[in-house]
Amino acid sequence: MKLPNKGIINGANRYKLLAVSIAVAALLALPFCIENDYIKHLLIMAGIGAILGMTFSLLYSVGLVTLGAAAFYAVGAYTSTLLVMNAGLSFWAALPLTIIISAILALGFGAVFVRNAGVAFVVITLIFAQVVVIAAGQADFLGGWGGIIGIPRPNPLGPAEFTSKRDFYYLILAFLLLVVVVYSALYSSRIGRAWRAIKLSPNLAGTLGINAYRYRLLAFTIGSTTAALAGCFYAHYFQNITPGAFSGWTSIYVQLYAVLGGLEFYILGPAIGAVIMTFVPEYLRVVREIEPIITGVLLLIIILFFPGGILGTIRKFPNLSLESLNARVKKIGATLTGRK
Amino acid sequence: MILLKIRNVTKIFGGLIALRDVSFDVHKSEILGLIGPNGAGKSTLFNVISGFHSPDKGKILFKDEEINGLRVDQIAGRGIGRIFQEPTLFMQETVFENVLSGFHRHYREPLWKAVINSPAAKREEAAKKEKAIEILEFLDLISASEEPAANLPHGHQRALAIAISLASEPELLLLDEPVTGMNPNETMSMIEKIKRIRETGITVLIVEHDMRAIMSLCDRIVVLNLGIKLVEGPPDIIKKDDRVIEAYLGKQAV
């Protein structure tokens, strides 16, 4: 049978593959081009932010808006800290355990939370994140409001000693790439299709036999577990954690990464948003007192006038779209090789 | 063989009785029309059958199993498909993706294999895509397959809704006003398609205001008025029934 478009079946886009390869190579080479440790630190923070932003987008892809993205970020950070400091495990042993424990907790809480989609879910996640912060602040074994200090660095692994920013950069990059690969696979599988169906029309999805509850719970569990992974990294990178690091502000920033980059771009959107939101405020520090105001106004302008976010706005200009860039690259290629 | 049994179904909204003691059968492989003036309870009955409302009284049996009280997705899983009266599609997705969503309950490979895109999952996905193309060709939508559903004209959106439902391979298909808002040509071609859908063994229960379409399509017709079943029978009898004419046109007309 003749297929309407080969792209539908093959899916693979050579230019996309090329672009991804170049991006990964650039990210791998980046620490060698940067001397300044502080810039490396910012890149690491952007990496954490990108992962957290992607968990927000994952829930958004099934129609759930979370205001508690930092909740499981905290769960991961505290769980891993306790496993290393109290149970005496190494970072590498604590990491998979943290993932498993967080996944079980996410499944348990999610089973209750995702019963209510819509506004109820927004409010529940907001309160839950707040409860997690207060619980951490009140519990002595979690260090109270002062938090926990002296969390060990990850044990050396091969050439990585985790004494330099560069090693942490590669660790967070590895986590980020893992998340990107897994999430891309999810989005392009029938799971992603079911998620989008539930988001776009829960009624129609239902009449096709899609169990919205189960698919929302799956997204909640995967997203929360991913946030816990980021938390685990955070604790052993900063080597100290306080409840304040996981406050409502963190959840709001995470949401902003996704909104700023472009809500409809589940992977690239949060990544771009996190980089911008990490670097721009830093360079506005010269005007220290009013930096948050400038950042806030910039965000308001973007959200009010460019609701599609950065990527959504770019896509609106036909000259800047991926298709048109592809066409131009092809044209240049044809000219260079002398073919028509 | 009786596929669907509606037994003494009553549905009350606040003080309004939307359905009162409605009973009828849907036979396998027939096209059964459900007609009645506005407010007769047709859409309520569709919502009760497909699980959006649960009946206050009475039973609904599909293949002799009670389905009232089940969730929408469970009822769909038993083999009841439905299209909505208002355009209900995955608007931002392409036509092709819309149809693929319909196959959801027919995937057999486990989810994790779909995620890692194992060879078996790839084959399964390719098979679904082939089938989606067949369905799109059948409904004359193949040339629009890469368009977002929102960009389609009204008639094509109705056809796409049916395409999605066909992908879910229902045994019973509930069609809520499939030709309303279509021009005569589109209506003619849709009627032919519904007939062909029935020929593939799918039973059709249809609500429609276009009387010519209903009369030429249906094997039997059930008439509802003010939540009560007025009469049921073949189109020729229904056309001449005084109670039906009275319900539609008022007493003076008789």
Q: Answer whether A206 sits within 8 Å of B91, measured CB to CB.
A: no
Q: Where along chain B do its domains lie?
A: 1-79+170-254, 90-167
Chain B positions touching A222 (Cβ under 8 A) are: none
Please state the ipTM of this predicted complex: 0.93
Mean pLDDT within B139-168: 95
Same domain, A279 and A171: yes
Same domain, A229 and A328: no
Chain A positions touching B146 (Cβ under 8 A) are: 4-5, 8
Q: Answer whether B89 sits within 8 Å of A206, measured CB to CB.
A: no
Q: Answer whether B101 sits within 8 Å of A194, measured CB to CB.
A: yes
A2 within a domain of the structure (yes/no): no
pLDDT tens per residue across span A84-123? 999 999 999 999 999 999 999 999 999 999 998 889 999 9
What is residue B35's predicted lDDT score, i.e. its pLDDT? 93
What is residue A2's predicted lDDT score, i.e. its pLDDT? 40
Same domain, A298 and A314: no
Chain A positions touching B115 (Cβ under 8 A) are: 182, 185-186, 189, 191
pLDDT tens per residue across span A30-51? 988 988 999 999 999 999 999 9
Same domain, A327 and A302: no
Q: Is A207 within 8 Å of chain B by CB?
A: yes
A25 within a domain of the structure (yes/no): no
Same domain, A237 and A333: no
pTM for the structure as a whole: 0.90
pLDDT tens per residue across span A234-269? 999 999 999 999 998 899 899 999 999 999 999 999
Closest Cβ opposite residue B77 in set A185, A196, A209: A209
| A336: pLDDT strictly greater than 80 | no
What is residue A323's predicted lDDT score, i.e. its pLDDT? 65
Q: Domain containing A50: what range?
A: 37-306
Chain B positions touching A210 (Cβ under 8 A) are: 73, 101, 104-105
| A28: pLDDT strictly greater than 80 | yes
Same domain, A191 and A133: yes
Distance from the Cα of B34 to chain A's closest Cα (Å) equals: 20
- What long-range pairs does A100-108 form, CB within 8 A, spacing at least 24? A102/A72, A102/A75, A102/A76, A102/A224, A102/A225, A102/A228, A102/A229, A103/A221, A103/A224, A103/A225, A103/A228, A105/A72, A105/A75, A105/A224, A106/A72, A106/A220, A106/A221, A106/A223, A106/A224, A106/A225, A106/A228, A107/A217, A107/A221
71-100 in chain A: CB under 8 A from chain B:
none
Which helix (H) or strand (E) segment is A166 a member of? helix A165-188
| B184: pLDDT strictly greater than 70 | yes
Identify the band that residue A11 occupies on the pLDDT scale cut at 50, 70 and 90: very low
| Fold (topology level) of B1-79+170-254 | Rossmann fold (3.40.50)
| A340: pLDDT strictly greater than 50 | no
Domain count, chain A: 2
Average pLDDT, chain B: 93
A11 within a domain of the structure (yes/no): no
Q: Answer whether A4 sits within 8 Å of B133, measured CB to CB.
A: yes
Same domain, A333 and A207: no
